[in-house]
Structure 1
Amino acid sequence: MTIKFTLQSLVVAGLMTLAQAASAQVAVIVNPKSPMASMTPEQVAAVFLGKSNTLPSGATAAPADLPESAAVREQFYSKAAGKTGAQVKATWARLTFSGKATPPKELTTAADVKKFVANNPDAIGYIEKSAVDSTVKVVLIVE
């Protein structure tokens, strides 16, 4: 009886952890000196999917992406652009092959994305909202 209870407890704890990870908020961030106060999901998707190479402020965009293996990347593209990881990869393969656009700079960790954005006035990236600090400015929360 105790083994069954222990297994049930572990399963419930695991599902709660997954639910929390799946519901984490994603913050789209820019340099704190950027004149932008906010962006729409459509504007963000246009930058990250190669439809626009400029930010709404008129600056040339320098987008920073997380690796395909990052759960927050899947959540970001799903919620902000309505695309799966496979669709994003296919989009960038087509754009890169045709020479129409260059994909976002892929950085290893959220800390790297935050540092890149903090040090580049034209940068835009995304990280978990819980990782945001005063070195960056949030222009959109993706839930």
Structure 2
Amino acid sequence: MKRPRRLPTLLLLLAMGAVPARAELVLVVNPKNPATKMFPSQAAQFFLGGSVLFTPIEQAEGSAIRAEFYKKVLEKEPSQVQAVWAKLIFTGKGKAPKEYKSSADVKKAVGENVNAIAYIEKAAVDDSVKVVATVP
């Protein structure tokens, strides 16, 4: 029995845009922040409550960009990150990051806080934020 050929179907779906392409992510800070470069692994500590040097800003819960950031930078599933923050909040050792619905809202929040750090799609970068790392 012959196997069905899936490659043409996949190529057709890609051409039609039915399979989402992963956006390149960047870590951003306020343009007035003195930070100029950071490794994604360094940024992870801010998003896991390990340091208060920066104020983490989150994308919307359940968003694809948030899941991708957690996987690539934090190396955790969303439920694992939620558990980390639940413990920090319960013990009084941390306050969960504020979350915003879009990269535009995230950029606005970063612009209003010189100590903020966030992640957005590289395509969304403009003068309102400064890129300190690119997420591979």
Distance 1:108 1:19, change over 3 A: closer
CA distance in 2, matches of 1:109, 1:79: 19
Displacement, 1:15?
A: 8.4
Displacement, 1:19?
A: 4.7
Q: Which of 81, 87, 101 matches 2:80? A: 87
CA distance in 1, matches of 2:15, 2:86: 36
Q: Secondary structure at the match of 2:80?
A: helix
Displacement, 1:134?
A: 1.1
What's the TM-score, normalizing by structure 2?
A: 0.85
What's the TM-score, normalizing by structure 1?
A: 0.81
Q: Which of 90, 94, 101 matches 1:101? A: 94
Other-structure match for 1:3: none
Structure 1 spans left out of the alignment, 5+ residues: 1-7, 55-60
Other-structure match for 2:106: 113
CA distance in 1, matches of 2:39, 2:130: 15
Higher-helix-fraction structure: 1
Question: Identical aligned pairs, as a percentage?
Answer: 44
1:68 aligns with 2:69: no
Q: Secondary structure at the match of 2:72?
A: helix
Displacement, 1:12?
A: 2.1
Other-structure match for 2:48: 49
Structure 2 spans left out of the alignment, 5+ residues: 1-8
Question: Over aligned residue pairs, what C-alpha RMSD do you find?
Answer: 2.1
